[in-house]
Structure 1
């Protein structure tokens, strides 16, 4: 049994934990105040209090079929969330792009004598929810059910049937293919989507991550029912699965559920892990598109799951462009110069190296100046790192918002599924927060220098070719807001 202490800080975190039915909050009471000004002061005071905590006790075992299980008891509500994760994402498509996505989408279209309508009606009658999804690394199927055996047992039976024995009806296959083809046509009208597809091709070359998870207009129509069956038989196996289970269950009940769900799955082997991509040379690609704005992406390969530098990269990115308002990118590009409504940066660790990416949309006439300015900001950040005050603020904000990842059973089961799939320590959530608190300016600076090179960026833009204007001068927002402040 592993005990994780999830720290909660701030009014929003506390409120969401209360809504989710958590009863172990240690939130300090606040004095009731009469005026709006006093109320706002009280919220500021509350945000500075020591974070509350919630204990997460994770237990793990393997089923008789060889499936790893992570379970956490959560008795606050009479329900449970189950997530079954398979190493069956689009990285396993090989040359049949879209096969993993289509297989996953077809699971609840039929099983035995039941068609899609009958399956949906039965889940609704039982008060249960089924969902599924396919991504680059993984495919997931999830069930939320009440714990009353009269409802949970038939819900689990139906869930097990459609996961292990889908019928892949031909009429549903044709319908879903048509839906995907309509989506591909819509993508042609979205410069952001076109730029994103091109970006991943430029980043990953011949690596599986280069391909869109949903496939293409050329490959999807060619996928056959037999290929779906073969893919399911190969990858939707007990040995290639992980279970995350959270809810109002005893250990014995959780063990029985995991055995029931995995016993009917095909037997097979664990899928090979995705190989690491080879970094490609810097490049810049422009997609001509008739619009008033230009979409800009800057990216490079950066980090995979489990890298010891990830806490430092995460915290540093919260300062640079991942933390919303107050980041360097938002302050310099939006607030001071009005070049965009929003600009963001992110690290996306996956089983193999995932990208660091900056995304912004700006007026076409300012696209070149904006691009060059962003490159200057990144170059300066990699060269000099954050300030101590930026680091301290980012720590407070991250430690206050990170508990939202454990604010409900659904969010907890998602975190546990990732821990199981990527074979991370069961204490990962707690370790991550402790690592954040220990980080220094030097730690963050060195991590960025190790993983990012401003001269190796893959750049993709999508928009019209128009005459370019120079970068506008920054606006001193302190002077703009000062008269208003004096009125108070």
Structure 2
């Protein structure tokens, strides 16, 4: 059976890539809004559940509670302990994944059509009746504490956490969702139960599915699966007030290579200029070896193996961020080149050739994302959370192609902020110690 399931999963992954995805939007009898992509060629279903809020719902003094709770959901449920729950999941040839991020708690389920009812009943136990046995909590807590201690010795984690603290001040984003050694060590079972109750609620739920199931079948499945969830959860956090001063902060750390992370203000996903900035980011640092930063920092000067930028769209803040690593005696030059290119593109813009190359890549790569039921369900639920229409998949490339060179270069002037580009460097960088700009 397990070999057969792996074979079916491989078929689902290897399905022909296409951006022609027909989404049905509907509401179940109990009021759950869901999106469905029917695909009956393989007897397999992928289901995605999202709960908005995620780790940002932690109480300040209980940081890490949502992470600990999420990681313990499958460590025993109903009348089954952790071992029994895992064994039954395997017997059903099902796959359940539970994850938490700054703004969302995710539950991903994959199961065969023939085991659908049993798999959903089993999944329901972990969502509605998790045991949260003390021995399971302590076991998972030890794993999280190990990660926290390890992150304190890893330059990239140190840099990222320090940048978050610098940017977000007292917002939940300012600290790691894993919590601290102190906060996680002091969490009680009651804290875990409270995190479950306030995080996994109907008022912040998003659902999508793809595969061998009809709208009517999915509606019944969801009503049965989610009956018993709290109607409302904890209030969502407020908008973050970001602080980006343009400084370069150095954190001394014994390593032959420094790690630098950087950020400036970003742009909201709903903004009319989003696609112009999206293309601009690809040209600046998001386009791999063809990006301006990769050409200037790596290819022309050999200062790094890689430098990249990306847009960060969180529920409570938007950033334009990036990262670079370089030898201690060369990282100062790498940072200078990044700052210079940031200003150069803002002032001089990009070329028509760069824009057309970016459009060709981004529109050509887009259909490759739809390579199976799992990715399709995941993309669909993400669209829901971002407030995108059901026809977005069909129109997305048109929106990219509609951006003109004038649009991109105007966006460069308006949204690139060299004076707010803030760096955190971890290592022993020469020429940067105590630097302010």
User: Normalization by structure 2: what TM-score?
Assistant: 0.92
- Which digits, 9 at most, give the CA deviation of each residue in 1:328-365, with x for residues without a partner? 11111111111111111110112122221120000100
Q: CA deviation at 1:448?
A: 3.1
Deviation at 1:255, TM superposition (A): 1.4
Q: Which residue of 2 aligns with 1:46?
A: none
Long gaps (5+) in structure 1: 1-16, 26-52, 469-488
1:270 to partner: Cα distance:
7.8
Which residue pairs with 1:118 in the alignment?
Answer: 84
**2:166·2:243 contact (CA, 8 Å) conserved in 1?**
no
Equivalent in 331, 339, 363 of residue 367 of structure 1:
331
Aligned to 1:94: 59
Q: Counterpart of 1:56 in 2: which secondary structure?
A: coil
Q: Cα distance, 1:19 vs. partner?
A: 6.8
Question: Shift of residue 307 of structure 1?
Answer: 2.5
Task: Could you tell me which runs of 5 or more consecutive residues in structure 2 were left unpaired when the two chains were aligned.
Answer: 1-9, 433-437
SS in 2 for 1:461: strand
> What's 2:97 paired with?
131
> Is the counterpart of residue 246 in structure 1 residue 210 in structure 2?
yes
Deviation at 1:18, TM superposition (A): 8.3
Once the two structures are superposed, what CA deviation does each residue of 1:222-272 show, in whole Å capped at 9, x if it has no partner?
111111111211221223211111111122212121212221323325843
Q: Residue 26 of structure 2 is aligned with which of 38, 57, 61? A: 61
**What is residue 33 of structure 1 aligned with on the other side?**
none
Contact 1:75 1:248 in 2 (8 A): yes
Q: Contact 1:67 / 1:262 at 8 angstroms: preserved in 2?
A: no
Q: Distance in 2 between matches of 1:274 and 1:427?
A: 30
Q: Deviation digits for residues 279-331 of structure 1, max 9, x if unmatched?
A: 44332210101111111112123123322222111111111111111111111
> What secondary structure, in the 3-state scheme, does the structure 2 residue paired with 1:180 have?
helix
Distance 2:383 2:51 in 1: 13
Aligned to 1:222: 186
SS at match of 1:206: coil
1:299-378 equivalent positions in 2, closer than 5 A: 299-378=263-342
Is residue 68–residue 420 contact of structure 1 (8 Å, CA) maintained in 2? no
After TM superposition, which residue ranges in structure 1, 4 or more long, deviate above 6 angstroms? none
- Contact 1:67–1:240, Cα closer than 8 Å, also in 2: no
1:161 aligns with 2:108: no
Match among 321, 329, 350 for residue 386 of structure 1: 350
Verify the 8 A CA contact 1:160 1:264 in the aligned structure 2.
no
Aligned match for 1:170, one of 109, 134, 140? 134
How far did residue 415 of structure 1 move? 0.9
SS at match of 2:47: strand
- SS of corresponding position for 2:21: strand
1:61 deviates by 2.2
Backbone CA RMSD of aligned residues: 2.0
CA contact (8 A) 1:109 1:115 kept: yes
Q: Residue in 2 aligned with 1:71?
A: 36
Query: Looking at CA atoms only, which structure, 1 or 2, has the larger radius of gyration?
Result: 1
The residue that corresponds to 1:485 in the other structure is none
Q: Secondary structure at the match of 2:314?
A: coil
Aligned residue in 2 for 1:3: none
1:80-101 alpha-carbon deviations (Å, 9 max, x no partner)? 1001111231111130211221
Greater relative CO, 1 or 2 (CA 8 Å, sep 6+):
2
- The separation in 1 between residues aligned to 2:374 and 2:349, in whole angstroms, is 36
Count of aligned pairs: 423
